[in-house]
Structure 1
Amino acid sequence: FLYVAKNFSKIHRENCHELAAYLVSCSRSRAYDMLRKQREEPLEEIPDVPDDAPVPDDAVVSTDNIQHLTELIGQMKPVYRDPLRLLAMGYTNREIAESLGLTD
């Protein structure tokens, strides 16, 4: 906000679309500045702690299982398949419901 206020003389001459783009650009620039400053701060050294927990072999999914699962999902009716694919792509339940015209 202060950055925009200091540069008001540049802003008041811009048209609405250019102003919106300028404000987005200013916001992005300030966010990058903040991230750079955070990176410059030294991080506290954290000692390594040995992890003796066993690695569960059962949780490892083989390529064959993934391929078989993909084939099974491909055989599903679109009403069931499409939400699963969107979920796998990282969409939220609300986004999936909106894009497919369903209730959340």
Structure 2
Amino acid sequence: MTYVQTTHGADFFGQDTHTAKAVRDLAGYARGCLPYDVREPLARLLESAGTEAEATIPADQAETFAGLLATVASHRFTKAKAAKVARLLGDSAARAAAEGEPWTWTTTATG
């Protein structure tokens, strides 16, 4: 199974780990919940989860993504499990932006 580990997460080590599939599934919610002119950069990032060894998102872009992910998480059509992943990703993006640091995604595989 493939996982995506993000920096600035909520665990003791400052990381969050999500299945790549759960993150990729959020792209559909982003496209359904967000206005056309702002959704594509986030949707492309979500769709690429688990396909690259590492992705680094600059702090200013992480701040934008944090707001968009919060919108996806709180949208009435977003299912609870997807909303939780969106909320956790949004929170870690917001922490990275607040610290002025890049938000990094690392792909790991098990099994």
TM-score range, shorter chain: under 0.3
Instruction: Name whichever structure is richer in helix by fraction.
Output: 1
Higher Cα radius of gyration: 1
Structure scoring higher RCO (CA < 8 A, sep ≥ 6) equals: 2
TM-score using structure 1 length: 0.27
